[in-house]
Structure 1
């Protein structure tokens, strides 16, 4: 049977569980390596918050909810970003008890540089794979994005 006409049987629940664990560990290792190898100076939690702010300005409460952390934890993260000059606080336009956090131009540059370094690290590894492995990763990337968006 050719590869194009091969049918795939559903995995047994124990095999699905095993695959899920292997995928989780592989994704965690790649994420850790990309952060480490790119030698960026942005902590992972700060990078995540900065990416959220790149989408739009937000209140610390909104950021805490999106990032699934406590409000005091987000207050500390935002404070660290303010100290580094990567975000600015401004009064909320409709609720004077709140603030809105926005990225600075320095933060946008830091995000761009960090992404460039991380992409370059990954591109070297992918370029060392054979064409079949690259095609498999292309499909796997689509599938993993689908899983992440559920």
Structure 2
């Protein structure tokens, strides 16, 4: 019968295996970015958030990406200079600035996503149906782990 100590050791081993596997996959997916894309992974993450959620304040983006607002402001400034985002005043409070994805930003997100999704789909095709089903079940769990504090 498993003890709490054995379960902790087993969880620690699982944690280590997941960390290594997820980090290797992240690095591999990062390497598959569109060759014309010169944006940092952090900048792409911000564009991705705006694509998924719509416009947001710098503060909300900083909180989502777990960075300090001044760091997010620098990222937004670079994205704005590149034509990927625009700032606009909030309808009811002009002091609040909302960051919105431009068509160029949207196209950049989609091109980058399509390229990496295609690479991953090719790798998934090499797996057995059972392995793909296991990953299908694990995907929401991994997302849940990533969103925890």
For residues 38-57 of structure 1, the aligned pairs below 5 Å read 38-40=33-35, 41=37, 42-54=39-51, 55-57=53-55
TM-score (norm 2): 0.84
Q: Offset of 1:149 from its aligned partner?
A: 4.6
1:26 counterpart = 2:26: no
Map of 1:24-103 to 2, 5 A cutoff?
A: 24-40=19-35, 41=37, 42-54=39-51, 55-103=53-101
- The question of 1:12 aligning with 2:7 is answered yes
Q: What is the number of equivalent residue pairs in this alignment?
A: 143
8 Å contact 1:58–1:100 — kept in the other structure?
yes
Tell me which of 115, 118, 121 is aligned to 2:119: 121
Compute the TM-score of the two structures, normalised by the length of structure 1.
0.83
How big is the shift at 1:22? 1.4
- Are the counterparts in 2 of residues 90 and 99 from structure 1 also a CA contact under 8 Å? yes
CA distance in 2, matches of 1:135, 1:16: 22
Which blocks of at least 5 consecutive residues in structure 1 are unaligned?
A: 1-8
Q: Distance in 2 between matches of 1:103 and 1:69?
A: 20
| Paired residue secondary structure (2:67) | coil
Q: Which has the larger radius of gyration?
A: 1
RMSD: 2.2
Q: Note the C-alpha offset of 1:34.
A: 0.5
The separation in 2 between residues aligned to 1:145 and 1:52, in whole angstroms, is 14
Does 122-131 or 77-86 show the bigger shift? 122-131
